[in-house]
Chains A and B, each alone.
Chain A
Amino acid sequence: MNEKLLFLIPLLPLAAGVLNALFGRRLPRALVAGLAVGGVALATLSTVVFWPLAAGEGTRATLYTWMASDNLRVPVAILFDPLAASMSLMVTFVSTLIHLYAVGYMAEEGGNARFFALLNLFVFAMLTIVLADNLLLLFLGWEGVGFCSYALIGFWFREEKNALAGRKAFLVTRAGDVFFGIAMLWLFAATGTLSISGINQAASALPPDTLFWLTLLLLTGACGKSAQLPLMTWLPDAMAGPTPVSALIHAATMVTAGVYLLGRLFPLVSLSPAGMATIAAVGALTAIYAASCALAQREIKRVLAYSTMSQVGYMFLAVGVGAVGGAMFHLYVHAFFKALLFMGAGCVIHLTGGENDIHRMGGLGRRSPLVFWSFLAGALCLAGAPLTGGFFSKDAILLAAFVAGGLYFKILWGIAATTALLTAVYTFRLLYLVFAGAPRTAGASHRLPAAMTWTLPPLALLGVFGGLFNLPTAWGGDGALGEFLGPLAGEQVHASHALEWGLAGLATGLFLVGWLAARWRYASYRGERPSPAKTFFLHGWQADRLVDVLLVRPFRVLADFFWQWVDRKGIDGFLEGGGASLMRLGGALRRLTTGRVHSYLAGFAWGLIAILAWMLAGFIE
């Protein structure tokens, strides 16, 4: 098999996206949707077909040399190894389902061509990140997903709120990208190559300080994309976009790109213990921060946004303790159940006639059982109900953190375990408020298209039985995903089966406690009880205000200074003042030209007298 055919995987969605972007306005709706879904579905198919190429070391394919200058060589090359293959299979498969769902979701909206073109372009950019064999190509995809995310969050740009949310997402992630860019330049300066495998090989020769700072820079870049502390404020606002966008970009794929980046460069990252500890700490702190915020959210999609942030925090924690396999396992399972939850939320919003507030929902379980059961499956995975996919993947991370050694990692494990409890609480709060009891508002219900409901069950099955992909040996499994990833899975977790069972029991206990707490409080609706703490959590610990005070306002003051004083009064004042004084001089001089012959003649006379006087003076001397 010609390995260059691997380029079909990213290029098929690109082709569909370009076709839609160029001709989509003139094509009938069905054809636009068919192109979009077809492009991504074919990409899924080709990933499956090319799957054998991923075995072992994987396959490398080069299309052409993108840039060559001195010792900088950037080929457009892809590396189809187990990590990239499994990630691209997940991305293409989930994208296909979400594209199908979007066909139903967008059935009554305008701008279909723009929507699907951007969605396909996003899939192309995401696959570029996943498959790229060098950092610059990866960065191209990295910026591509950022742009598509920006354009899709602000898809309904006529409302200013949406456009602002898109801009915020773009700017905040760009702040992280700057650090990623610096890391890339530094890596090239230090190793002389941008190839990922080349960097990973050369990393062991770098001094520890350099490695630490490089890890921090890469971490900051990953934080921006993955909405981790402190660059996390954009993700909740990003929910202004259409629901399929939230499901695809802000739950399943793009926000996990940071984890993937750290996983790709794990051989480099793992060489710096301090860097690893920082990654783990960022992950654990984000996990608990986002979980606490999710407890108090009112909008269904914002609850899910914070839970995404929290789950991505788990993945960072896993990378930080060296369990890349665990991180990828959680990434895949999370992609399935979180896409499912978002798609379910889209159905719920449709059913309630555009209502977002969970306090005004209720009683939806009877309205649409299919949506309810699918959503329940996703929620159980999120909450970590025993034997679901989420249970196993979260457990693997908790176990890896527990055995990572040292008091430091034990504290992080404690934080992560507390987060698991909070996760169960907020998940069941969401479930009870949305589906239980009687309807609290009589909103006009929209009809649910079949494309929106029948895409849910496959994801529900994958989420619930996702544990089978990587069943731990203690449960009689063989850790298939870890085996498949091989050396890419990071460090092996060594733990006795007794410890594994103990931690699984603890996780089950936390799940049950969380469920009971939510059941006690929310099983029957008792109205809202506002409190200062709730408001604090609702606004995400006032992070937006903090950013406003610390960054935005000083920046505005500085910008105002440069605008009003330096530019307006300084530069403009100088130039305009010079111009004005010359104008005044000209105004004074023009009075000399009276237009009357006599004044000119008088001028001649005075000139003559002056010349004569001068000559006379010379003559006398």
Chain B
Amino acid sequence: MIVPMSHILIFSGIMFFLGFACVLAQRNLIMILIGVEVMLNAVGVTLAGASALWQQVDGQIFVIFLMAMTSAEVSISLAVVVYLSRRKKTIEADAFSEMNG
């Protein structure tokens, strides 16, 4: 393998935590969704790397599943975001706290 597995893992770990930090730190719904995408893709990198490591095709199939799932998720999420922004004229996540206990 050209790229060692440890590099892949370090790269995807950094990517994951960058996405995670984005999710936690951003108040904007779109930015949070982007953070989630980054985290999902970090996992995809790991899966592709592992597939190459063990010479098994399962990992790559999973990545394709992941892409399909992600596209579906993004389409729904964006629809929700559009709906929310119409309701309150804002997409700040903290503005939507009606579900409090």
Given A605-B20, A605-B24, A598:B94 Cβ within 8 A: yes
The answer to whether B101 touches A590 (Cβ under 8 A) is yes
Inter-chain contacts of A597 with B (CB < 8 A): 32, 93-94, 96
**Interchain residue pairs with CB less than 8 A apart (20):** A590-B101, A591-B101, A592-B101, A593-B99, A594-B97, A594-B101, A595-B100, A595-B101, A596-B93, A596-B94, A597-B32, A597-B96, A598-B24, A598-B27, A598-B93, A598-B94, A601-B23, A601-B24, A602-B24, A605-B24
The answer for the CA separation of A320 and B32 in the assembled complex, in Å, is: 102
The answer for the CA separation of A239 and B83 in the assembled complex, in Å, is: 84
B9 to chain A, nearest CB (A): 14
Inter-chain contacts of B98 with A (CB < 8 A): 595
Inter-chain contacts of B93 with A (CB < 8 A): 596-598
Interface residues of A in 588-615 (CB under 8 A from B): 589-598, 601-602, 605
The answer for the CA separation of A602 and B93 in the assembled complex, in Å, is: 13
Count of residues in B whose CB is under 8 Å from the partner chain:
13
Interface residues of B in 63-101 (CB under 8 A from A): 93-94, 96-101
Interface residues of B in 1-47 (CB under 8 A from A): 20, 23-24, 27, 32
The answer to whether B100 touches A594 (Cβ under 8 A) is yes
A 138-155 to B, binary, CB cutoff 8 A, 1 in contact else 0? 000000000000000000
The answer to whether B24 touches A593 (Cβ under 8 A) is no
The answer for the CA separation of A590 and B20 in the assembled complex, in Å, is: 26
Inter-chain contacts of B100 with A (CB < 8 A): 593-596
The answer for the CA separation of A596 and B99 in the assembled complex, in Å, is: 8
The answer to whether B101 touches A593 (Cβ under 8 A) is yes
CB-nearest residue of chain B to A594: B100
The answer for the CA separation of A602 and B20 in the assembled complex, in Å, is: 10
Inter-chain contacts of A591 with B (CB < 8 A): 101
The answer for the CA separation of A469 and B11 in the assembled complex, in Å, is: 126
Contact residue among B23, B32, B97 (Cβ-Cβ distance under 8 Å from A595): B97
CB-nearest residue of chain B to A602: B24
Interface residues of B (CB under 8 A from A): 20, 23-24, 27, 32, 93-94, 96-101
Inter-chain contacts of B96 with A (CB < 8 A): 595-597
What is the interface of chain A mostly: helix, strand, loop, or mixed? helix
Inter-chain contacts of A589 with B (CB < 8 A): 101
CB-nearest residue of chain B to A592: B101
CB-nearest residue of chain A to B20: A605
- The size bracket of the interface on A is 10 to 19
Q: Which 6 residue pairs across A and B have the least CB separation, nearest first?
A: A595-B100, A590-B101, A593-B101, A595-B97, A595-B99, A597-B93
Inter-chain contacts of B23 with A (CB < 8 A): 601
The answer for the CA separation of A429 and B10 in the assembled complex, in Å, is: 121
CB-nearest residue of chain A to B100: A595
B28 to chain A, nearest CB (A): 11
Inter-chain contacts of A595 with B (CB < 8 A): 96-101
**Extra inter-chain contacts (13) besides given A592-B101, A594-B100, CB under 8 Å:** A593-B100, A595-B96, A595-B97, A595-B99, A595-B100, A596-B100, A597-B32, A597-B93, A598-B93, A601-B24, A602-B24, A605-B20, A605-B24
The answer for the CA separation of A591 and B101 in the assembled complex, in Å, is: 6
The answer for the CA separation of A595 and B94 in the assembled complex, in Å, is: 9
Inter-chain contacts of B101 with A (CB < 8 A): 589-595
Interface residues of A in 381-427 (CB under 8 A from B): none
Inter-chain contacts of B27 with A (CB < 8 A): 598
The answer for the CA separation of A591 and B100 in the assembled complex, in Å, is: 8
The answer for the CA separation of A596 and B101 in the assembled complex, in Å, is: 11
Inter-chain contacts of B24 with A (CB < 8 A): 598, 601-602, 605
A598 to chain B, nearest CB (A): 6
The answer for the CA separation of A589 and B20 in the assembled complex, in Å, is: 26
Interface residues of A in 564-604 (CB under 8 A from B): 589-598, 601-602
Inter-chain contacts of A601 with B (CB < 8 A): 23-24
The answer for the CA separation of A598 and B29 in the assembled complex, in Å, is: 11
The answer for the CA separation of A595 and B24 in the assembled complex, in Å, is: 15
A542 to chain B, nearest CB (A): 66
The answer for the CA separation of A22 and B90 in the assembled complex, in Å, is: 76
Inter-chain contacts of B99 with A (CB < 8 A): 593, 595
The answer to whether A596 touches B97 (Cβ under 8 A) is yes
The answer for the CA separation of A597 and B94 in the assembled complex, in Å, is: 7
A515 to chain B, nearest CB (A): 92
The answer for the CA separation of A597 and B81 in the assembled complex, in Å, is: 14
A 461-501 to B, binary, CB cutoff 8 A, 1 in contact else 0? 00000000000000000000000000000000000000000
CB-nearest residue of chain B to A593: B101
The answer for the CA separation of A497 and B97 in the assembled complex, in Å, is: 111
CB-nearest residue of chain B to A605: B24
B99 to chain A, nearest CB (A): 4
Inter-chain contacts of A605 with B (CB < 8 A): 20, 24
B83 to chain A, nearest CB (A): 15
> Which of A594, A597, A605 has most B Cβ within 10 Å?
A597
A177 to chain B, nearest CB (A): 60
Inter-chain contacts of A594 with B (CB < 8 A): 97, 100-101
The answer for the CA separation of A589 and B100 in the assembled complex, in Å, is: 11
A424 to chain B, nearest CB (A): 88
The answer for the CA separation of A597 and B77 in the assembled complex, in Å, is: 14
The answer for the CA separation of A597 and B99 in the assembled complex, in Å, is: 10
B26 to chain A, nearest CB (A): 9
CB-nearest residue of chain B to A596: B97
A193 to chain B, nearest CB (A): 71
